[in-house]
Amino acid sequence: MRMIIPLLNLKRTLWCLMLGLSVGIACVAAPALVSVTWAQEDADVVDDDAEVNPPAAAPRPAETAPASTSNEKRSYLAWAFKSLGWFYSVVFLLLSFSLVALFVMNLLTARRENIVPTQLIEGFEEHLNNKQYQEAYELAKNDDSFLGQVLSAGLAKLSAGYSPAIEAMQEVGEEETMKLEHKLSYMALIGTISPMIGLLGTVQGMIASFNVIAFATTAPKPKDLAEGIATALFTTLVGLSVAIPAIAANNILRNRIARLVLEVGIVSEGLMSRFQNMGTKKKDLE
């Protein structure tokens, strides 16, 4: 049983990483596909207009207008990537990939059957009713859930009395709670540093724009100023786009885990309450 559980956790981790990679690739590829689709639709519209309204005769050389660039199509994704730069693009891609993987992993960990399994409660209570205490201890010990660890710790200390058993259960409960919150802390970390990285890009972009103004001998071109401003705005946009889901998911999962941990305490104390008079009986016999 103990050899199977690490293998299941390894498979779950690898599955979360693969899912996060797939979602990250989809997020990167979706804007490109939309841009290609829009460009294709615009090209089809131009072709249809050409068929309905044939081009007029070419003007004389003296009246020839300068070549228009309105038909040039530019990918929105390419513009965003150029504005972000390779450094910020790689950083935000890694943060978004890690966020998806952590969210799926914590979501699977926060399932009710992984913290308060119903099957364990029914089997443990049945063994206690039949006074099969050793079997109840083995059942709880071999269960890798939160409740299983708490119940096995309580039964292990039951020979010393009911109060030491409750204290052991509380210690294990605090330790398991800390493990769950430690996994969630990485999501909170991503939600905290993503806006900071976006702010760093904002400052860098504004410095670049002011640098163009400071060292220009003539009036700077709007295109030169727009490059720094685009970097400032895109880094802020992407940083907030990563931080907002991270903070929301962290709070939702944290509330769910807190509710399940409270349920573990209530269920475990209810199952162990039948041993509450054990210390009193020992004193009476003495």
The predicted pLDDT at position 231 comes to 84
The predicted pLDDT at position 93 comes to 92
Question: Can you give the pTM of this predicted structure?
Answer: 0.67
The predicted pLDDT at position 100 comes to 94
In the structure encoding, which two tokens stand for residue 172, read together?
């294990």
* Number of helices followed by number of strands (H, E) in the chain: 9, 0
Of all residues in the chain, what percent carry a pLDDT higher than 90? Answer: 31
**Model confidence pLDDT, tens digit, residues 243-265:** 999 999 999 999 999 999 999 99
The predicted pLDDT at position 281 comes to 46
The predicted pLDDT at position 36 comes to 37
- pLDDT at residue 242 is higher than 60: yes
The predicted pLDDT at position 190 comes to 95
CA–CA separation, 265 and 270 (whole Å): 8
CA–CA separation, 69 and 71 (whole Å): 5
Vertex 213, ends 212 and 219: CA angle to 5°? 110
Residue 166: how many other CB atoms lie within 10 Å: 19
**Model confidence pLDDT, tens digit, residues 206-241:** 888 888 887 777 777 777 787 888 888 889 999 999
The predicted pLDDT at position 278 comes to 62
User: Among residues 174, 178, 154, 156, which one has the least CA distance to residue 166?
Assistant: 154
- pLDDT at residue 189 is higher than 90: yes
The predicted pLDDT at position 158 comes to 85
| Residue-averaged pLDDT of the chain | 76
The predicted pLDDT at position 256 comes to 93
The predicted pLDDT at position 275 comes to 84
Query: What number is the average pLDDT over the span 87-91?
Result: 90
**Model confidence pLDDT, tens digit, residues 105-123:** 999 988 888 899 999 999 9
- pLDDT at residue 182 is higher than 50: yes
- Helix pair angle (162-215, 222-272), 10° resolution: 180
CA–CA separation, 226 and 210 (whole Å): 11
The predicted pLDDT at position 239 comes to 92
The predicted pLDDT at position 250 comes to 94
The predicted pLDDT at position 209 comes to 83
The predicted pLDDT at position 30 comes to 43
Instruction: HSE, CB side, 13 Å, CA atoms: give it for residue 5.
Output: 8
Q: Cα–Cα distances in Å, from 260 out to 113, 143, 177, 181, 208?
A: 10, 17, 10, 13, 51
Buried b (16+ CB within 10 A) or exposed e, 232-248: bbbbbbbbeebbebbbe
The predicted pLDDT at position 47 comes to 45
Is 100 or 277 the better-scoring residue by pLDDT?
A: 100
Vertex 118, ends 114 and 121: CA angle to 5°? 110
**Model confidence pLDDT, tens digit, residues 203-215:** 988 888 888 887 7
- The 3-state DSSP class for residue 70 equals coil
pLDDT band at 98 (very low <50, low <70, confident <90, very high): very high
User: Among residues 178, 16, 184, which one has the least CA distance to residue 105?
Assistant: 16
Contact 93, 81 (CB under 8 A): no
The predicted pLDDT at position 279 comes to 54
- pLDDT at residue 58 is higher than 80: no
